[in-house]
Amino acid sequence: MSRRIFLLLFVLFLFAGSLFSCSLVSDPETERSSLTDSLERTEPSEEPEISETEPVTETPAQTETETETETEEPVTEPPIPPIGINELEPVGKELFTYGISGDCSELEELLAAYPNKLTIAAYAMDGRKILLYDTESTHHSACTIKAGYILYVCKQLDSGAESAATKLTYEERHTYDGSGRVRYTEFGTEFTVEYLIQLVLSISDNTAYRMLLEHFGVYGYNLLMRDLGTSSLFLGPENMFSSYATAQDLLRVWSAVYDYLQSDAEYASLYRKSCTDTEHAYGAMTLVDYSYSHKSGENLYRYLATNDAGVVWAETPYLYCMLANINYTVEHIEELNAIMTCVHRLMKPDSSD
């Protein structure tokens, strides 16, 4: 009896162990089901939708390229402020430049080696390029003074105070040596004011100039010079024909001429065609790219002078003035040409202007 009981208990013990062992082994299906149930309980019930047009997040390489492109964009510097023509200060024998981007070393060497008295000035009409050398000096004006006087005469014609058709008679008292055509005609020959203006500006006719001086006088001309702010270039009883001049005063005169030529004044076209691209342009004869309007002056007698002043019609027009106490010789002109070639190169507008 006891043996049967023992065998029964042993069989029950083995059966219980088998059940316990089975409970420790995971059923794959049950495990997946359990994991699914767990995910369903912890994740959102709906997954976020991804739009097909939604931009793709940029990679670090793209961001770096974009940043590099932004930093390489050129920065436009504001233009230098203009300087008014009446704000120019006289300078000594050291080259002064403002707004000049070119190399000035060649011009500096030529000026340092130049043996004679020389004044150079150039001024862009927008006030952003300026070149000056020894503008403290005063020179004999020679015939450069005629530019301001003819401006006065043309303004008189524009006002109706005088007529361009008025005829003036050539008399012996008007005769003056030097350049010109009138002095070779007979006394008593009549010339219109308009024709005399053309002769004065185009070939610097001295006798024609004297005839205009006698007819129009110098009082109104001197008032014009005062209004322009000049301290030289005045005419009087002792200097009815020429005067002393500074480069700055000639720039002031040519600034007024420039404004006049740009205006709709009746006789502005007469003035311009009479002084544009004419000969004896000592300061502009090396120009090849631009037209110029000017008035030269030369004296070979009491006062040595080879002068020129005018406006160069570049993209940005500029005024120039050259005053030298020399007589006209091939050697002297070659020296001046080399200097003025540098001046015009430096004043020529840059490609970026």
The stretch 28-52 carries a mean pLDDT of: 43
Residue-wise pLDDT for 252-295, tens only, equals: 999 999 999 999 999 999 999 999 999 889 999 999 899 999 99
Give the residue among 297, 173, 150, 295 at the shortest CA–CA distance from 220. Answer: 150
Model confidence at 19: pLDDT above 60: no
More confident residue, 63 or 211: 211
Residues contacting 126, CB < 8 A, separation 6+ = 82, 316
Give the residue among 252, 250, 256, 295 at the shortest CA–CA distance from 276. Answer: 295
- Domain parsing of the chain, residue ranges: 94-347
Residue-wise pLDDT for 238-252, tens only, equals: 888 889 999 999 999
Give the 3-state DSSP-derived string for the chain, with helices as H, strands as E and coil as C: CHHHHHHHHHHHHHHHHHHHHHHHCCCHHHHHHHHHHHHHHHCCCCCCCCCCCCCCCCCHHHHHHHHHHHHCCCCCCCCCCCCCHHHCCCCCCCCEEECCCCCCHHHHHHHHHCCCCEEEEEEECCCCCEEEECCCCCEECHHHHHHHHHHHHHHHHHHCCCCCCCEEECCHHHCCCCCCCHHHCCCCCEEEHHHHHHHHHHHCCHHHHHHHHHHHCCHHHHHHHHHCCCCCCCCECCECCCCEECHHHHHHHHHHHHHHHCCCCCCHHHHHHHHECCCCCCCCCCCCCCCEEEEEEEECCCCCEEEEEEEECCCCCEEEEEEECCCCCHHHHHHHHHHHHHHHHHHCCCCCC
Predicted pLDDT of residue 303: 85
Predicted pLDDT of residue 41: 42
* pTM, 2 dp: 0.78
Q: Sorting pLDDT into bands at 50, 70 and 90, what band is 22?
A: very low
What's CA 265's distance to the chain center, in Å?
26
CATH architecture group of domain 94-347: 3-Layer(aba) Sandwich (3.40)
Model confidence at 312: pLDDT above 80: yes
* Mean model confidence pLDDT for the chain: 85
Q: Sorting pLDDT into bands at 50, 70 and 90, what band is 328?
A: confident
Predicted pLDDT of residue 44: 43
The stretch 124-134 carries a mean pLDDT of: 98
Percent of the chain with pLDDT over 90: 70
Q: Sorting pLDDT into bands at 50, 70 and 90, what band is 74?
A: low
